[in-house]
């Protein structure tokens, strides 16, 4: 199988029984905590356990890419205490998990507008990425201060700056290498927990042909069995990429040989 990311609008991607790339919006932490009369941040803390479980589950299901939406470009609008708790949790998680991720063959990537992060967090991200860059079991991408619109715009600006003479003539293939997820194929399956049925400015470009799956399960309660239910739903989908159903099920025509043409009636 080709390792080169394919654009679903330029070529028809290979489709397997298990998604090669799973992208998830981890939603419902606050409500999980509220139901238990705990502060919202307790839900975020607990949500980290689901992240660990998903990494493990993806490795054992031979999913190559897991992408998690951890903090959106709009999440800065939350109360300052919650934002700083989330930043602190990110630091703690990196400190505690990088060694384990590396030992398990996971390559870590963090994408988004990282310029907003404090130097200590930025250094940990860079260290973690460098340490794990050669790993091949699973690519875990954390989207932090990420927004789909930010992504398309930053890619477009990079491209225009690199090739000012070609502005007005760019195609998809020119833009693709500048997008934040250039290291991965497009997601096959998108899962959002927590009951909301929206994209919330996640991978707007990359989700063009992804299968969408929404569940009411809150992120801290999501587990391997819930993931298997999502994959089972994915398997039932007919991924047409613009073609008709008949085109997908059509049996390729049998080869016609000139000496097998019927001569009946000519004897
Ligand atoms: C998702 O859970 C985590 C982040 C956005 C960081 P929420 O915090 O959005 O949980 P709910 O939606 O309020 O329950
Ligand atoms: C999306 O969740 C962002 C993350 C999970 C990081 P939100 O909970 O912030 O989304 P909205 O605001 O309800 O759409
Ligand atoms: Mg939410």
Is 28's C-beta closer than 6 angstroms to any atom of ligand 1?
yes
Average pLDDT of the chain, as a whole number: 93
Ligand 1: which of 26, 30, 89 to mutate, judged by most atoms within 8 Å of the beta carbon?
A: 30
Instruction: Pick the residue whose CA is nearest to atom 2 on ligand 2.
Output: 27
Cα–Cα distance measured from residue 41 to residue 39, given in angstroms and rounded to the nearest whole number: 5
Distance from Cα 78 to the centre of ligand 1, integer Å: 10
For the chain, give the percent of residues with pLDDT over 70: 92
pTM of the model: 0.92
The full set of domain ranges for the chain reads: 21-148+186-235
Average pLDDT of the segment spanning 249-262 = 61
Is 75's C-beta closer than 6 angstroms to any atom of ligand 2?
yes
> Could you tell me the CA-to-CA distances from 211 to 111, 145, 241 in Å, in that order?
22, 24, 11
Instruction: Pick the residue whose CA is nearest to atom 1 on ligand 1.
Output: 27
Is 70's C-beta closer than 6 angstroms to any atom of ligand 2?
yes
Please give the span between the terminal C-alpha atoms of the chain, in angstroms, as a whole number. 52
Distance from Cα 153 to the centre of ligand 3, integer Å: 25
**Residue 251's pLDDT is what?**
67
Q: Residue for token digits 């600006």?
A: 157
Give domain 21-148+186-235's CATH superfamily: Decaprenyl diphosphate synthase-like (3.40.1180.10)
Is 27's C-beta closer than 6 angstroms to any atom of ligand 1?
yes
């Amino acid at each position: 199988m080709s390792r080169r990311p394919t654009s679903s609008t330029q070529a028809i991607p290979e489709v397997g029984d298990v998604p090669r790339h799973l992208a998830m919006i981890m939603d419902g932490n606050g409500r999980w905590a509220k139901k238990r009369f705990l502060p919202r941040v307790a839900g975020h803390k607990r949500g980290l356990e689901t992240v660990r479980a998903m990494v493990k589950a993806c490795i054992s299901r031979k999913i190559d890419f897991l992408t998690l939406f951890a903090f959106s470009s709009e999440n800065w609008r939350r109360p300052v205490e919650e934002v700083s708790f989330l930043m602190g949790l990110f630091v703690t998680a990196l400190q505690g998990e990088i060694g384990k991720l590396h030992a398990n063959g996971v390559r870590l990537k963090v994408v988004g507008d990282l310029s907003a992060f404090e130097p200590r967090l930025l250094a940990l991200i860079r260290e973690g990425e460098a340490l794990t860059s050669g790993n091949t079991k699973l690519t875990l991408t954390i989207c932090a201060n990420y927004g789909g619109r930010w992504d398309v715009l930053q890619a477009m600006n990079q491209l225009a700056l690199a090739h000012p003479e070609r502005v007005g003539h760019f195609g998809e293939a020119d833009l693709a290498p500048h997008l934040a997820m250039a290291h991965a194929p497009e997601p096959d399956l998108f899962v959002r927990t927590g009951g909301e049925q929206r994209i919330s400015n996640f991978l707007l470009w990359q989700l063009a042909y992804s299968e969408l799956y929404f569940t009411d399960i809150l992120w801290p309660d999501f587990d391997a069995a819930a993931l298997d239910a999502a994959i089972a739903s994915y398997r039932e989908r007919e991924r047409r990429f613009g073609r008709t159903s008949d085109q997908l099920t059509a049996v390729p025509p049998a080869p016609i040989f000139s000496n097998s043409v019927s001569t009946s009636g000519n004897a």
